[in-house]
A and B are shown apart, each in its own frame.
Chain A
Amino acid sequence: METDELLPLLSATAQGNKQAFAKLYSATSPKLFAISLKMLSNRAHAEEALQDAFVKIWHNASEYQVSKGTVISWMISIVRYRSLDSLRYHKVRKEQSLDDDNAYMEPADQAITVDYEGKSKLVDCMEQLDDQQKQAIHLAYYKGLTHSELVDHIETPLGTVKSWIRRGLQQLQRCLTL
């Protein structure tokens, strides 16, 4: 799923080519759906977020430019931001995914097992972080947890959680720009 393959599909989508859009969907939807599902832990909500994201991709395809990153990264961001909105909307509604027939729950263990596919500089830099920093960033990225939710999840004071995230990100940035 390299940018080389996706860019022509996205360009054709920007011209209103629905066939290209369908191919783009086939190539990317399993990954994008998995990202949304991991965050929302609910198939129905994740499918709705995916629908919204792809409708946005259809309408905004012409907005993409290479300086925004790879096509897949641009699409992942659209899906993640839509999923974050959905997550917070449903949390406010106090919907419990356990009560939902379509619920899909991951084991509620504290740590997230992460097995990166392939190597990137980010992965190398993540490996250099303290375990706590890494865990806090993982939980925020994959599960969409806010600072205060991280406090409950890893039973650590708010100031410490904020500091893990901030210092982790600062260290990542230093490592990434080396």
Chain B
Amino acid sequence: MSESKRTIEVLICDDSPISRSLASTVISKLPIPVGINTAGNGKEAYSYLIENKGECDILLLDINMPEMDGIELLREMKKEDTPLPYTIVMSADNVKRTVVDALSLGAKDFLNKPYTKTTLQEKIESAIKSLDSA
């Protein structure tokens, strides 16, 4: 149980600055110490994850992004055999297939946009629970 006392590192990867700040606000309100980093596209997220190997616990990943989208990032991580953080993919409701692909590529959970504060918090909490039990 002492595990959960440490700071949980979250990387929010979304091309929309509003979405990013929205997610960080919601996550930072959780009653646990969280460190939040953001990335504006898959490329940024990729370099962050390479640089901070193993540091990031949770990746909140938007699927539709310019440069490198969420799926491409997951593919890249898989190809490089880089350990993936507990990844929650976010997408609009009408792209079921991409979510299926993301889960097949190692994402652990998904979140339909637009999401509510509670849903996001629940997803993060269950991610932390799953990280602790691992």
- Chains A and B are bound partners: no
